[in-house]
Amino acid sequence: MAAIELNGVTKRFEDDEGLFDSLLPSSEPDTVTAVDDLSFSVAEGEVFGFLGPNGAGKSTTINMLLDFVRPTGGSVRVLGHDAQAESVAVRRRTGVLPEGYEVYDRLTGREHVEFAIESKEADDDPDELLSRVGLAPDEADRRAGGYSKGMSQRLALAMALAGSPDLLVLDEPSSGLDPAGAREMRDIVRAEADRGATVFFSSHVLAQVEAVCDRVGIMRDGRLIAEDTIEGLRDRVDAEATLRIDVDGDADLDAVRALDGVSSVETDGDRLVVGCTDDAKTRVIEAVEVGGATVADFETDSASLEDIFLAYTEGDDPADESEVAA
Ligand SMILES: Nc1ncnc2c1ncn2[C@@H]1O[C@H](COP(=O)(O)OP(=O)(O)OP(=O)(O)O)[C@@H](O)[C@H]1O
């Protein structure tokens, strides 16, 4: 059974609170299609990265998983339950770290976690959860109103972990975290997946996503334009790689420049620095050797998730939208 399953989900908002609407009573309300016929699924135990530029429809989708927003059409199933009709059952088994979680100023950190444990009817030790997210006992005893952004974020993560949920929904989890906090968060995500939880992870911090996610989905204008492992996406976008070759002898630079997939060739002493697509790398090495020089050594930098993300979300879609890869 899939942990998350969306089928043909659409969400249109009526944007009827515009500045001039009260002055123009006869005008039709505008509608915004936040999510447009969206279908995808996330397997149990998977860490799924949900990406997309601002306004792509990520938060709206997350809100539909949790029944904070109702779809205009289509069906949403979470942990085998209908997300609308059985939202209580979904929330009981789901830990949520909402974007920009606001603490209750007067409650201490520990009281927040105790509250989360009670609402899940769980029996976790609050101190254990707090220490897991790196909040020291003296910090846990302070009122959360005085917490820094990163401390609030750690607290929200401890609350999401209460009751060992089957599904963790993390919306921008590393926002405000220092590098140590970001690493701890990654370790927690992996540990949760190892115990069998599914993690649905939305973030603009692509290095973080690359480090923890088994698979990613990229949203654009309310639609999922790509869904695959990072390796799979890398293969498909022809994103630029850099090839650095240490050469003995004179390479035929013009022959390398003329190759398909090569966009730049520069020299740095005995080193050739070639900008090319992933699949052109072997052709470049061959062309250097055929030209009479010897390849002493070489190294490559593959396209980062950031390069891949930009290739999908800027300009024309690199993949035919009707052919979203599974
Ligand atoms: N309550 C609402 N009323 C009207 N329009 C809305 C509402 N919520 C979202 N939208 C619109 O739906 C679209 C998708 O918004 P959404 O918040 O889901 O994007 P997002 O991918 O989460 O963006 P971000 O990365 O900025 O958080 C945007 O055009 C947004 O303005």
Residue 129: CB partners within 8 Å, gap ≥ 6? 113, 117, 158, 161, 162
Q: Do domains 2-93+166-234 and 240-302 have the same CATH topology?
A: no
pLDDT-derived band at 323 (thresholds 50, 70, 90) equals very low
Stretch 247-271: mean pLDDT: 92
Q: Quote the CA–CA distance of 154 and 135 in Å, as a whole number.
A: 7
pLDDT at 326 over 60: no
What's the pLDDT score for residue 205? 85
Ligand 1 center from residue 57 Cα (angstroms): 6
What's the pLDDT score for residue 206? 85
Higher pLDDT: 258 or 208? It is 258
Residue 221: CB partners within 8 Å, gap ≥ 6? 36, 56, 57
Closest-lying ligand 1 atom to the alpha carbon of residue 63: 18
pLDDT-derived band at 20 (thresholds 50, 70, 90) equals low
Query: Three-state DSSP class for 78?
Result: strand
Closest-lying ligand 1 atom to the alpha carbon of residue 222: 14
* Model ipTM over 0.95: yes
Identify the sign of the CA torsion 317, 320, 323, 326: negative
- Which residue's CA lies nearest to atom 30 of ligand 1? 55
pLDDT at 325 over 50: no
Q: Which of 94, 110, 83, 66 is nearest to 163 (CA)?
A: 94
Stretch 234-255: mean pLDDT: 85
Structural tokens at position 197: 């939880």
Choosing from 58, 169, 171 the residue with most ligand 1 atoms within 8 A of its CB, the one to mutate for a pocket test is 58
Ligand 1 center from residue 169 Cα (angstroms): 18
Question: What Cα–Cα distance (Å) separates residue 115 from each residue in 63, 94, 162?
Answer: 22, 15, 10
The overall average pLDDT reported for the chain is: 88
- CATH class label, 2-93+166-234: alpha beta
Stretch 1-14: mean pLDDT: 94
Structural tokens at position 323: 């052919």
pLDDT-derived band at 28 (thresholds 50, 70, 90) equals low
Closest-lying ligand 1 atom to the alpha carbon of residue 15: 4
pLDDT at 25 over 60: no
Residue-wise pLDDT tens digits, 283-310? 999 999 998 889 999 998 877 788 788 8
Residue-wise pLDDT tens digits, 165-184? 999 999 988 888 888 888 89
Choosing from 6, 59, 206 the residue with most ligand 1 atoms within 8 A of its CB, the one to mutate for a pocket test is 59
What's the pLDDT score for residue 180? 87
Where along the chain do its domains lie?
A: 2-93+166-234, 240-302
Q: What's the CATH number for 240-302?
A: 3.30.70.1340
Query: Three-state DSSP class for 116?
Result: helix
Q: Quote the CA–CA distance of 208 and 149 in Å, as a whole number.
A: 18
Closest-lying ligand 1 atom to the alpha carbon of residue 204: 25
Task: Give ligand 1 pocket residues (Cβ under 6 A).
Answer: 13, 15, 32, 34, 52, 54-60
Query: Three-state DSSP class for 323?
Result: helix
